[in-house]
């Protein structure tokens, strides 16, 4: 292929980052020399397009942004047109193709953080660092950078959607060139500003990790480990120690799976009635059986850890506190489905979980729990960790596949489904993090025992992410069938006078105080027009600005739409515009006309969007209209106008 490149050249640091990233992923003897178009052109180079995301991460991590010269070098190395490389790089929020300061502070201004301190952090950073995302040239050339205090203009800030730290609102994430990323939560304006002034090379990320070590699960549940299944090792096991994990029952589930064999494991999963915990609730046993039976090879096993729904943080807690559990569950999935290669696709905004998972994968491989002969049992399976880069749509399974293959994360039309035509067109099993941890429990206690908890299609334990105006925010594990009232009581009850609860996340629905006795099951929530969804339970008191909250949800979907289909691309924009007018008390025509327009938009998006993002983008807004939750025109209840 003839490539038409500009004259821009990468810096030495960018070139080294790109070549090292390729060399790390390309097996010998290919990585014995520097990958270039002349040596590795044509089909061989394009076959490695799936490395595009990790390579772009490598450039962003090294330089703080991705220059035109870096894009040229990536295009030349892969023999892919530069316009396509640019299209992928600009798809993700964590990549910048414009000059950016080497230190970027991502300030969460979403539904949990914004009204609880996020806006205060943004205001201080705007005063001290300048306008959002601008006003700062890049810092010193990374080729000649020297350690020491950062010079003027080395830090900037941007607004961010939910960072998955809602139980510790407000939260920020620091993205730093040449240094580990880290998060601060709960953050104060002064702490965040101080972090931007820490000298280069100071191990501030390590100190941030220490703050997370003993606070990943809500306090009331940490005192009752005997009642927990999915969370029983959180706060008990050392997440960095494989031996400690084994002492707490680790790898007993994999041993039992091998003793049973793939067919019997599938039967146990079917007997358990385990359904997916990411929101779609598809039967796990049916999915694994379909992939296992597919004649085409190879098969792939993928964990969808791109947890990006506002208000959701359960998967982060599992990965931070019990990373070996996910490695073991993935290995079981590979064994049962016949996959020899697995991928964990994790949120780019989860730096601590990423480090702990990578350490767990490396340790498991070194000890024979991953590799060509797992546990000496004659089957091969290995895992590669892939970071997302800030795109909510990649939580949709086919968009995730596109992202893994090195393309923009745009959903595919279905059918065909991933079980027959998944990653690289091969049979692929894709499961959510929480779903995989449930597989461990099923193998430990048996499918029928698991199914005895709850009922119908809602069996076993379920994790809920409780945040907002509640006594003790955090992740709570309860049995399916527990009522919403009982869950809120465990979390310390509502702070102030309860107004409503957003159940299921931004794509969920609202529940009124007189509906708190709803059983938290797929069937029970459906009866009242709500959904379990991703397990979000976001509590609002009577002081909450619900119109502002709904506008923020609408802005989230507007920004996160991939733009592939018209109903979603246009509908999410129009939806946010209507809510903005209602918030300003400037309706076109009348308030009733605007509400009718929202209902029309919702109907079109539900019926005509390609994927679940567009289909569920109006869900919370429609629910709020039905329950008459939109605030009357005028100043917001908390005196602040959301961004």
CATH of the domain at 467: 3.10.20.600
Give me the percent of the chain exceeding a pLDDT of 90: 81
pLDDT value at position 632?
64
Alpha helices, DSSP H, located in 452-545: 484-490, 522-527
Residue 42 banded pLDDT, cuts 50, 70, 90: low
Structure tokens at 243: 């031996």
Residue 69 CA: distances (Å) to CA of 59, 75, 213? 11, 10, 40
Residue 210 maps to a domain: no
Q: Is the same domain home to 526 and 556?
A: no
Mean pLDDT of 94-111: 94
pLDDT value at position 217?
56
Q: What is the CATH number of the domain that holds 194?
A: 3.40.30.10
CA–CA separation, 172 vs 239, rounded Å?
A: 23
Measured in whole angstroms, the distance separating CA 171 from the mean position of its chain's CA atoms is: 15
pLDDT higher than 70, residue 643: no
CA–CA separation, 636 vs 174, rounded Å?
A: 30
DSSP 8-state class, residue 339: E
Residue 46 banded pLDDT, cuts 50, 70, 90: low
Per-residue pLDDT tens for 180-225?
999 999 999 999 999 998 887 777 766 666 555 444 455 445 444 4
pLDDT higher than 90, residue 38: no
Per-residue pLDDT tens for 428-462?
999 999 999 999 999 999 999 999 999 889 999 99
Mean pLDDT of 509-523: 95
Residue 214 maps to a domain: no
Residue 619 maps to a domain: yes
CA–CA separation, 403 vs 398, rounded Å?
A: 9
Residue 600 maps to a domain: yes
517 class by beta-carbon count within 10 Å (0-12 exposed, 13-18 middle, 19+ buried): exposed
First to last CA, the chain: 46
Q: Is the same domain home to 242 and 345?
A: yes
H or E stretch covering 539: strand 536-541
Q: Is the same domain home to 330 and 240?
A: yes
Cα within 13 Å of Cα(230), Cβ side: 27
Q: Is the same domain home to 269 and 404?
A: yes
Residue 55 maps to a domain: yes
CA–CA separation, 463 vs 467, rounded Å?
A: 13
How is 163-201 classified by DSSP, letter by letter? Answer: -S-GGG-S-EEEEETTS--EEESS--HHHHHHHHTSPBT
Q: Is the same domain home to 333 and 185?
A: no
pLDDT higher than 90, residue 153: no
Mean pLDDT of 571-588: 95
* Domain boundary residue, one of 490, 506, 541: 541
Residue 206 maps to a domain: no
Q: Shortest CA distance to 431 belongs to which of 551, 244, 544, 283?
A: 283
Structure tokens at 473: 């925010």
DSSP 8-state class, residue 283: B
Residue 636 banded pLDDT, cuts 50, 70, 90: very low
Across the chain, mean pLDDT equals: 89
Residue 48 banded pLDDT, cuts 50, 70, 90: confident
Q: Is the same domain home to 552 and 534?
A: no
Q: Is the same domain home to 446 and 478?
A: no
238 class by beta-carbon count within 10 Å (0-12 exposed, 13-18 middle, 19+ buried): middle
Residue 226 banded pLDDT, cuts 50, 70, 90: low
The angle at the Cα of 57, spanning 55 to 59, to the nearest 5 degrees, equals 75
- Its domain, for residue 552, covers 546-626
Q: Is the same domain home to 234 and 356?
A: yes
Phi, psi of 356 (to 5 degrees): -70, -40
The angle at the Cα of 318, spanning 316 to 321, to the nearest 5 degrees, equals 100
pLDDT value at position 215?
46
Number of domains in the chain: 5
Per-residue pLDDT tens for 460-492?
999 999 999 999 999 999 999 999 999 999 999
Q: What is the CATH number of the domain that holds 593?
A: 1.20.1440.230
3-state SS of 251-278 is: CHHHHHHHHHCHHHHHHHHHHHCCECCC
- The beta strands (E) that lie in 94-179 are given as 103-108, 155-160, 172-176
Beta bridge partners of 175: 104
CA–CA separation, 602 vs 204, rounded Å?
A: 45
pLDDT value at position 43?
59
Phi, psi of 138 (to 5 degrees): -60, 155
Residue 282 maps to a domain: yes
Find the length of the chain: 643
* Domain boundary residue, one of 452, 484, 499: 452
Cα within 13 Å of Cα(113), Cβ side: 34
Q: Is the same domain home to 557 and 422?
A: no
User: Is the link from the previous residue into 29 a cis peptide, with omega within 30 of 0?
Assistant: yes
Q: Are strands 461-468 and 536-541 parallel, antiparallel or unpaired?
A: parallel
CA–CA separation, 419 vs 398, rounded Å?
A: 11
- The beta strands (E) that lie in 248-360 are given as 299-305, 339-346
CA–CA separation, 240 vs 89, rounded Å?
A: 33
Q: Is the same domain home to 232 and 381?
A: yes
Q: Shortest CA distance to 487 belongs to which of 450, 446, 537?
A: 537
Per-residue pLDDT tens for 547-579?
999 999 999 999 999 999 999 999 999 999 999
Residue 213 maps to a domain: no
Q: Which residues contact 234 (CB under 8 A, 6 or more apart)?
A: 216, 217, 222, 317, 318, 321, 322
Q: Is the same domain home to 232 and 180?
A: no
pLDDT higher than 50, residue 34: no
Per-residue pLDDT tens for 606-626?
999 999 999 999 999 999 999
278 class by beta-carbon count within 10 Å (0-12 exposed, 13-18 middle, 19+ buried): buried
Angle between helices 566-584 and 591-608 in degrees, nearest 10: 160
Q: Is the same domain home to 388 and 289?
A: yes
Mean pLDDT of 332-361: 97
Q: What is the CATH number of the domain that holds 308?
A: 3.40.50.11540
User: Is the link from the previous residue into 170 a cis peptide, with omega within 30 of 0?
Assistant: yes
């Amino acid at each position: 292929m003839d490539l038409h490149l500009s004259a821009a050249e990468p810096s030495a640091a960018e070139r080294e980052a790109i070549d090292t990233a390729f060399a790390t992923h390309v097996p010998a003897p290919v990585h014995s020399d520097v990958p270039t178009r002349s040596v590795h052109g044509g089909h061989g180079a394009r076959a490695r397009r799936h490395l595009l995301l990790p390579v772009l991460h490598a450039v962003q991590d090294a330089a703080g942004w991705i220059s035109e010269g870096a894009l040229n070098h990536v295009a030349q190395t892969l023999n892919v047109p530069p316009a396509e490389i640019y299209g992928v790089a600009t798809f993700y929020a964590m990549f910048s193709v414009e000059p950016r300061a080497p230190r970027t502070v991502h300030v969460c201004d979403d539904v949990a953080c914004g009204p609880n301190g996020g806006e205060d952090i943004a205001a201080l950073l705007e005063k001290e660092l300048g306008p959002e995302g601008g006003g700062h040239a890049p810092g010193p050339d990374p080729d000649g950078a020297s350690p020491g205090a950062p010079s003027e203009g080395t830090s900037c800030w941007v607004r961010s959607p939910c960072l998955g730290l809602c139980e510790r609102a407000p939260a920020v994430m620091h993205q730093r060139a040449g240094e580990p990323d880290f998060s601060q939560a709960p953050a104060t304006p002064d702490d965040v500003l101080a972090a931007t002034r820490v000298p280069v090379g100071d191990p501030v990320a390590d100190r941030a990790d220490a703050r997370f070590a003993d606070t990943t699960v809500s306090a009331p549940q940490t005192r009752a480990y005997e009642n927990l299944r999915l969370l029983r090792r959180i706060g008990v096991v050392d997440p960095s120690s494989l031996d400690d994990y084994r002492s707490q029952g680790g790898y007993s589930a994999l041993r039992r799976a091998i003793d049973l064999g793939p067919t019997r494991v599938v039967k146990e999963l079917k007997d358990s009635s385990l359904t997916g915990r990411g929101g779609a609730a598809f039967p796990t046993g049916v999915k694994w059986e379909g992939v296992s039976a597919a004649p085409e090879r190879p098969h792939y096993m993928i964990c969808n850890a791109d947890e990006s729904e506002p208000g959701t943080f359960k998967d982060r807690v599992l990965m931070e506190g019990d990373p070996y559990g996910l490695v073991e569950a993935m290995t079981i999935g590979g064994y049962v489905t016949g996959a020899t290669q697995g991928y964990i696709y994790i949120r780019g905004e989860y730096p601590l979980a990423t480090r702990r998972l990578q350490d767990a994968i490396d340790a498991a491989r070194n000890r024979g729990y991953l590799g060509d002969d797992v546990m000496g049992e004659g089957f091969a399976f290995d895992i590669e960790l892939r970071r997302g880069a800030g795109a909510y749509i990649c939580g949709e399974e086919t968009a995730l596949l596109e992202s893994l293959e090195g393309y923009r994360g745009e959903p595919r039309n279905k059918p065909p489904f991933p079980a027959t035509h998944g990653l690289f067109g091969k049979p692929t099993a894709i499961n959510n993090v929480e779903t995989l941890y449930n597989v461990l429990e099923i193998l430990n206690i048996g499918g029928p025992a698991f199914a005895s908890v709850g009922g119908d299609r809602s069996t076993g334990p379920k994790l809920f992410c409780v945040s907002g105006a509640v006594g003790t925010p955090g992740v709570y594990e309860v049995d399916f069938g527990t009522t919403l009232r009982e869950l809120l009581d465990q979390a310390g009850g509502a702070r102030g006078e309860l107004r409503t609860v957003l159940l299921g996340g931004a794509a969920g629905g609202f529940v009124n105080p007189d509906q708190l006795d709803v059983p938290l099951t797929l069937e029970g929530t459906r009866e009242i027009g709500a959904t379990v969804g991703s397990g979000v339970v976001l509590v609002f008191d009577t002081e909450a600005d619900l119109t502002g909250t709904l506008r923020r949800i609408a802005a989230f979907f507007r920004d996160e739409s991939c733009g592939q289909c018209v109903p979603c691309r246009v509908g999410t924009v129009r939806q946010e515009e209507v809510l903005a007018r209602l918030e300003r008390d400037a309706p076109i025509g009348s308030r009733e006309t605007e509400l009718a327009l929202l209902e029309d938009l919702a109907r079109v998006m539900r019926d005509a969007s390609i994927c679940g993002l567009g289909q569920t983008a109006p869900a919370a807004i429609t629910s709020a209209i039905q329950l008459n939750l939109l605030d009357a025109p005028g100043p917001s209840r908390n005196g602040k106008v959301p961004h």
